[in-house]
Chain A
Amino acid sequence: MNKIKTIIKKEWAEVFKNRWVLFSVIFMPLLMTAIPLVMLGVMRTDTSMEMDIDSGLDAGVPEAFRSFCPEDLSGSECFQVYMVSQFMLLFMITPLILPVNIAAYSIVGEKTTRSLEPLLATPITTMELLAGKNLAAVIPAVAATWLGFLIYAIGARLLIVSDKVVAALLNPLWWLGIIVGGPLLAILSVNFSLMVSSRVNDPRVAEQLSAVVIMPLMVLFFGQIAGFLILNTLLVIVLILLLIAVDALLVYLGVRLFQRETILTRWK
């Protein structure tokens, strides 16, 4: 356990000395928090958005979402919930992208600075090394996501007059998504980066390929905007179960593919 702690502390000390990584860790969650709050602020002041869900003026709200909207919400309230929900998925981008930045720097960077070889020569096991690197990337990403969501929740409470809208926006669906889904997404992201790093020769390729991990989330995001799918509690639970299975597979593959010899001899 001490070796894992050492790796985590080392990673943080190294990684956060890089201003760009530090900037991305701070800036991205702030941006993802600000977007839904700004949306809420604009909708609160723009009276032209007053619509009646029953009168058919809310053509922008998909049918599936209308049925998902609590019955006691007015048309405009449902529209607010709908619009902000579109951007809530952005919160899920933070635990996906932030670890990629950190992991790419901590693993690929370790190779480029040639510090990996003496590190691998120490009596640290592959599991300890990967656990340390995993946690070093996952913890800041999850903390930033949770903190961003907390700021969002407080901001939403202050900006939205209607208690019903607040309740709809801060429902268990999103708490479940952020509190449980966030870490699972971060684990997925880090282990995917680890696997890519273990197999490619060029650190730049590793960073670019690792960013592919965001694609499934973008499918969800645009699917929801296009009205093809609406996130509900059942879908989030299914996604979480799917993530648990994928994470377990990726952790297993990450350990299997982190071959000291391959990394030392193939990376140039």
Chain B
Amino acid sequence: MMIHTENLTKQFNTVLAVDRLTLDIAEGEVFGFLGPNGAGKTTTVRMLTTLIGPTSGAATINGHQVGRDDQAIRRIVGILTESPGLYDNLSAEHNLHIYASLYEVADAAGQIEKYLRLFDLWERRFDPTATYSKGMKQKLAIARALLHEPRVLFLDEPTSGLDPEAARLVRESIAGLRKEGRTIFLCTHNLDEADRLCDRIGVFKTRMLVMDTPARLRSQLFGRRVVFHLRQADDAMAAAVARLPFVQAAQTVENKVLVTLDDPEVHNPDIVRALVGLGADVQFVGELRRSLEDVYLQLMKGSKE
């Protein structure tokens, strides 16, 4: 495992920020870490990047133990903090030179050019970063996190506050990094972003509420819903379908029958046969996808209760 935590806990005086977090993230995996403000996401990232120590529990990054092998961990991780944290009086190139030196990057000039070009900042490399737009600053901060080619990348709200175009560019960059096989720990509020980029998602609020692939999370929380479009639907058809043993629920909405079930691939033909047997003309069948936002809101609602 590239990232492993075991009952990782952080307490600030009386405030419990992270409660017994246990997770495993494989090499090359993109893990989405979702949660509301103040949920403990940044605290978790800070612990995993050795910026702060855990109160109890343990964590390892590529086998290096947090708290014991901190220098080794810092060499193999890159971090994009909540705020870009650039030296605004200095140029983009100067900013990157400082970090290339601190990370002891062998070909500093080459790496700087590579990432400034990748993020389309090469032409503005001599300008003070104070003159950059928010999106440009964010791209430069990601370039800074990548300079030393880290195996693990922690991205804390990478598209927060960016305009749609800049956010898209950053997302495309993350998708590119994913293809390179880097392990990415992505903290985000943007559920669509997490849905598109992440292999697995953990919804976190001081403790891990749930963790799985986006598709399975939808399925676990809501079941899967299939809509059968009919020429003419009535309540008797929905009631008949609801009596089928594998169906969790069925209802009629206009000329559609909405059916909740676990395994549509297996049972849809049975439902179609049942509906045809009742005299229905089935026009087409489709799955209703719940958005990750629905999953998230459902979990947050549950955590409050």
Say whether A associates with B: yes
Point out the residues of chain B lying under 8 angstroms from A113, CB to CB.
85-88
| Cβ-defined contact, B49 with A121, below 8 A | yes
A13, B145: Cα distance in complex, Å:
21
A-B contact count (CB 8 A): 78
- Report how far A121 CA is from B86 CA in the complex, Å: 14
A114 on interface, CB distance cutoff 8 Å: yes
Binding stretch for chain A, among B25-33, B98-106, B119-127: B98-106
CB neighbours of A256 from chain B (8 A)? none
Tell me whether B89 is interfacial, beta carbon within 8 Å.
yes
Q: A122-B102, A125-B71, A261-B53 are in contact. Are A13 and B85 (CB under 8 A)?
A: no
Whether B98 and A123, one on each chain, are in contact in the complex, defined by CB atoms closer than 8 angstroms, is no
Asked if B1 is at the interface of the complex by the 8 Å CB criterion, the answer is: no
Report the minimum CB–CB distance from B92 to chain A (whole Å): 13
Most buried by B among A118, A261, A264: A118
Q: Which residue of B lies closest to A124 (CB)?
A: B102
The B70-92 residues at the A interface (CB cut-off 8 A) are: 71, 74-75, 77, 79, 81-90
Contacts A117-B85, A125-B71 hold; do A14 and B51 have CB atoms under 8 A apart? no
Taking CB atoms, residues of chain B closer than 8 Å to A10 are 87, 90, 98
Which residues of chain B from 115 to 153 have any CB-CB distance to chain A below 8 Å in the complex? 141, 144-145
Contact A13 B51 (CB under 8 A): no
CB atoms of A6 and B98 under 8 A apart: yes
Bound Cα distance from A17 to B95, whole angstroms: 14
Within 8 A of B (CB), among A1-30: 2-3, 6, 9-10, 13-14, 17-18
Residue A115 is within 8 A (CB to CB) of chain B in the complex: yes
Q: Is the CB of B74 within 8 A of A122?
A: yes
Query: Would B101 and A121 count as touching, CB distance under 8 A?
Result: no
A101-126 near B? 1/0 per residue, CB < 8 Å: 00000000000011111111111110
What residue of chain A has the Cβ atom nearest to residue B50's Cβ? Answer: A121
Contact B101 A264 (CB under 8 A): no
Known A260-B52, A261-B53, A265-B52; contact A116-B99, beta-carbon cutoff 8 A: no
Number of interface residues of B (CB under 8 A): 32
Interfacial residues of chain B within 164-201, with CB under 8 A of chain A in the complex:
none
Dominant SS at the A interface?
A: helix
A261 with B51, Cβ < 8 A, contacts A113-B88, A115-B86, A115-B87 known = yes
A118 touching B81, Cβ below 8 Å? yes
- Which of the residues B52, B83, B89, B101 comes within 8 Å of A14, measured between beta carbons? B89
Which residues of the other chain, B, contact A261 by a CB distance below 8 angstroms? Answer: 51-53
Do residues B102 and A3 form an inter-chain contact, with CB atoms below 8 A?
yes
| Contact string against B for A residues 36-75, beta-carbon threshold 8 Å, 1 for contact and 0 otherwise | 0000000000000000000000000000000000000000
Most chain A CB atoms below 10 A, which of B71, B74, B87, B89: B87
In whole Å, how far is B67's beta carbon from the nearest beta carbon of chain A?
11
Q: Collect the chain A residues with CB atoms within 8 Å of residue B89's CB.
A: 13-14, 17-18
Residues of A189-246 contacting chain B, CB below 8 A: none
Query: Looking at A14, A115, A124, which has the most chain B CB atoms within 10 Å of its CB?
Result: A115
A18 to B130, CA, bound (A): 13
Report the Cα distance A115→B130, complex, angstroms: 13
Q: What CA separation (Å) do A9 and B50 show in the bound complex?
A: 26
Q: How far is the CA of A10 from the CA of B97 in the complex (A)?
A: 10
- Cβ-defined contact, B101 with A2, below 8 A: yes
Q: Are B85 and A114 in contact (CB under 8 A)?
A: yes
Q: Are B90 and A14 in contact (CB under 8 A)?
A: yes
CA distance A123 to B49 in the complex (A): 11
Q: How far is the CA of A187 from the CA of B87 in the complex (A)?
A: 25
Q: Is B102 a contact partner of A264 (Cβ separation < 8 A)?
A: no
> Given the complex of chains A and B, what is the CA–CA distance between A265 and B52 in angstroms?
9
Across the interface, do B87 and A265 meet the contact criterion of CB distance under 8 Å? no
Chain A residues contacting B75 (CB-CB under 8 Å) are 123
Name the B residues within 8 Å of A119 (CB-CB): 85, 102
Q: Which residues of A contact B49 (CB under 8 A)?
A: 121
Query: Could you say which residues of chain A place their CB within 8 Å of the CB of B20?
Result: none
Taking CB as reference atom, which chain A residue is nearest B47?
A261
The answer to whether the Cβ of B290 comes within 8 Å of any Cβ in the partner chain is no
In the complex, A161 Cα to B85 Cα: how many Å? 57
On B, residues with C-beta under 8 Å from A are 12, 46, 49-53, 71, 74-75, 77, 79, 81-90, 94, 98-99, 101-104, 141, 144-145
**22 A-B pairs in the complex with CB atoms less than 8 angstroms apart:** A2-B104, A6-B98, A13-B94, A14-B87, A14-B90, A17-B90, A113-B85, A113-B86, A113-B88, A115-B86, A117-B51, A117-B83, A118-B79, A118-B85, A118-B144, A120-B51, A121-B49, A121-B51, A121-B77, A122-B103, A261-B51, A264-B52
Q: Report, nearest first, the 10 A-B pairs whose CB atoms are least far apart.
A: A17-B89, A114-B83, A123-B74, A261-B52, A115-B85, A122-B102, A6-B101, A114-B85, A117-B81, A121-B79
> A-side interface residues toward B, CB under 8 Å?
2-3, 6, 9-10, 13-14, 17-18, 113-125, 260-261, 264-265
Can you add 5 more A-B contacts, CB < 8 Å, to A6-B102, A124-B102, A265-B12?
A13-B89, A13-B90, A118-B81, A121-B51, A121-B79
